């Protein structure tokens, strides 16, 4: 049973080898004769330690031994004792290495762990976490009415903890891989028209330029709130997005991901009010601030300014959608597409990682492109039909002419 360079074998526990007086050997019943677990499979792992497991059936012992020896040979062998560490213990070690993530992300993960992951998996050994059990856990959250984003967060934490266990050599593979999550039901987005942007800006009073800026650039709130005077190029009408600020137990200032760092154009119609915001400020000063010159916080501004403005707009216009400040980003995408921007331009404006993400998010905005495709196909079909008809007509006339030429008067 042993492979070259790897030691192992299967032993029959019912019998032992005894030496006779004449020096010969013979098999005799051992003290374990008749026990159910008759066969013992043993091998030496990569660290030189002997491992064993007993079986009632010899072929099962041989199959188990072949698998273990293959792991030792391939260098993928996992110490069975390593899998006894609990998910909670792995989570503690994994969390200690997450100091680089944003505070808001860290807070979301802490909540997901405490509410959904730890109660179910905290005391379980990582080797006991099976894909079927993970699927059952996800299904229970769905049955209990847990929101899809919350399920995604909880599953994400467990998956990352199990990935850490794989890296540490506690388990051979991640049991979360391949587990499907419920799909999100995307709510209808509220897209503002140019007239509704103007109405919302008017209703916001002195902060109307915030509405116009977000609706015509598509910046995230945190990106807008972090803008400094030096981030604006007024001659080229560009704003350079190079950092962001979020609210999470205070203010968390961070640089955006590589694909989120970008130069975004803004229309000339809002240049004057942007210049007014920057008047008398130094290069490092924030452009959009509250009345005290501090960071403009979404939570406060939405309740104090934007929410009442939306209510006022809806009272005057029954088509005005129920939106949040973040929804102005969707409006920017809608207005850009209606102005003729292609998907790559919208992707760059919004700071999406891939054009496919932009298409998946705003597929409804590109319906006109599909209409244009159908129109172009119709035009091609008609042109081709006319060309064929013309060819047949010309061919028929030419053939008749050739016949006439050969017919004597």
Asked whether residue 188 is assigned to any structural domain, the reply reads no
CA nearest 320: which of 157, 185, 199?
199
Q: Are residues 349 and 208 in the same domain?
A: yes
Cβ-based neighbours of 212, under 8 Å, separated by 6 or more: 197, 201, 270, 273
**Tokens 């915001």 correspond to what residue?**
277
Cα–Cα distance, 96 to 66 (Å, whole number) = 38
Q: Do 147 and 72 fall within a single domain?
A: no
pTM of the model: 0.65
148, 167, 186 — which closes off a domain? Answer: 167
Asked if residue 3 belongs to a domain, the reply is no
**The predicted structure's pLDDT at residue 380:** 74
Which tokens belong to 228?
């400094």
Would you say residue 176 lies in a domain?
no
Check if the beta carbon of residue 86 is closer than 8 Å to that of residue 179: no
What's the pLDDT at 302?
95
One DSSP character per residue, 325-359 reads: TTHHHHHHHHHHHHTT--HHHHHHHHT-S-HHHHH
d(CA 25, CA 45): 31
Residues 73 and 89 in one domain: no
CATH number at 133 reads: 1.10.150
The whole-number pLDDT of residue 93 equals 93
**Residues 94 and 62 placed together within one structural domain of the fold:** no
Residue 256: the pLDDT is: 81
In this predicted structure, what is the pLDDT of residue 402?
46
Last residue of a domain, one of 77, 109, 136: 77
- Say whether both 369 and 389 belong to one domain: yes
Q: Count of domains in the chain?
A: 4
**Which structure tokens are listed for 360?**
């998946």
String of b and e for 190-223 (b: at least 16 CB within 10 Å)? bbbeeebbebbbebbeebbbbbbbbbbbbbbbbb
What count of other Cβ atoms lies within 10 Å of the Cβ of residue 336? 21
Instruction: State residue 388's pLDDT score.
Output: 76
Based on the fold, state whether residues 91 and 240 are members of the same structural domain: no
Distance CA 300, CA 206 (A): 15
Q: Are residues 241 and 367 in the same domain?
A: no
The Cα-based distances of 370 to 363, 365, 376, 377 in angstroms read 10, 10, 10, 11
Q: Specify whether 292 is located in the same domain as 156.
A: no
Same structural domain for residues 342 and 381? no
| Domain assignment of residue 284, yes or no | yes
Pairing of strands 244-247, 251-254: antiparallel
Q: Tell me, yes or no, whether 180 lies in a domain.
A: no
Domain presence at residue 289: yes
CA distance 218 to 345: 12
Give pLDDT < 50 ranges for the chain.
1-4, 398-399, 401-403, 405-409
> What's the per-residue H, E or C state across 185-222?
CCCCCCCCCHHHHHHHHHHCHHHHHHHHHHHHHCCCHH
Among candidate residues 66, 261, 295, 80, the one with its CA nearest the CA of residue 172: 80
* 248 three-state secondary structure: coil
Q: What is the DSSP string of 64-82?
A: HHHHHHHHHHHT----GGG
Domain residues for the domain of 59 are 8-77
Same domain, yes or no: 337 and 385:
no
- Does any domain span residue 186? no
CATH of the domain at 233: 1.10.443.10
Say yes or no: 113 and 245 in one domain: no
| Residue 263 belongs to some domain of the structure | yes
Last residue of a domain, one of 22, 54, 77: 77
340 in the same domain as 223: yes
pLDDT at position 4, please? 47
Which residues pair with residue 244 across a beta bridge?
254
User: Is the Cα torsion angle 331, 334, 337, 339 positive or negative in sign?
Assistant: negative
């Amino acid at each position: 049973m042993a492979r070259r360079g790897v030691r192992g074998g299967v032993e029959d526990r019912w019998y032992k080898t005894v030496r006779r007086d004449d020096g010969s050997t013979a098999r005799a019943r051992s003290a374990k004769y008749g026990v159910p677990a008759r066969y013992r499979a043993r091998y030496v792992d990569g660290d030189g330690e002997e491992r064993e497991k007993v079986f009632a059936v010899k072929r099962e012992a041989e199959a188990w031994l072949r698998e273990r020896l293959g792991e030792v040979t391939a260098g993928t062998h996992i110490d069975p004792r390593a899998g006894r560490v609990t998910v909670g213990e792995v989570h503690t070690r994994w969390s200690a290495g997450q100091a680089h993530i944003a505070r808001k992300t860290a807070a979301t993960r802490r909540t997901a762990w405490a509410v959904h992951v730890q109660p179910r998996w905290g005391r379980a050994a990582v080797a006991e976490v099976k894909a079927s059990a993970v699927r059952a856990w996800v299904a229970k959250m769905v049955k209990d009415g847990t929101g899809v984003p919350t399920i995604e967060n909880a599953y994400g934490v467990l998956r990352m903890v199990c990935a850490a266990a794989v890296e540490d050599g506690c388990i051979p593979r991640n049991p979360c891989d391949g587990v499907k999550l419920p799909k999100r039901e995307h709510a209808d987005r509220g897209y503002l028209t140019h007239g509704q942007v103007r109405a919302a800006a008017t209703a916001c009073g002195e902060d109307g330029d915030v509405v116009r800026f977000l609706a015509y650039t598509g910046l995230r709130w945190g990106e807008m709130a972090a803008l400094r005077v030096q981030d604006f190029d007024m001659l080229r009408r560009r704003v350079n997005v190079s950092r962001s600020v979020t609210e999470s137990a205070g203010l968390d200032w961070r640089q955006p991901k590589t694909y989120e760092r970008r130069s975004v154009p803004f229309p000339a119609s809002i240049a004057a009010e942007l210049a007014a915001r920057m008047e008398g400020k130094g290069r490092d000063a924030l452009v959009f601030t509250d009345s005290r010159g501090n960071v403009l916080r979404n939570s406060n501004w939405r309740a104090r300014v934007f929410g009442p403005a939306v209510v006022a707009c809806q009272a005057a216009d029954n088509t005005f959608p129920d939106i949040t400040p973040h929804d102005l980003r969707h409006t920017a995408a809608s207005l850009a597409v209606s102005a003729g921007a292609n998907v790559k331009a919208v992707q760059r404006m919004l700071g999406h990682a891939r054009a496919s993400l932009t298409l998946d998010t705003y597929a409804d905005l590109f319906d006109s492109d599909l209409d244009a495709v159908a129109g172009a196909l119709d035009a091609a079909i008609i042109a081709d039909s006319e060309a064929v008809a013309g060819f047949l007509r010309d061919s028929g006339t030419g053939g008749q002419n050739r016949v006439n030429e050969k017919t004597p008067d």
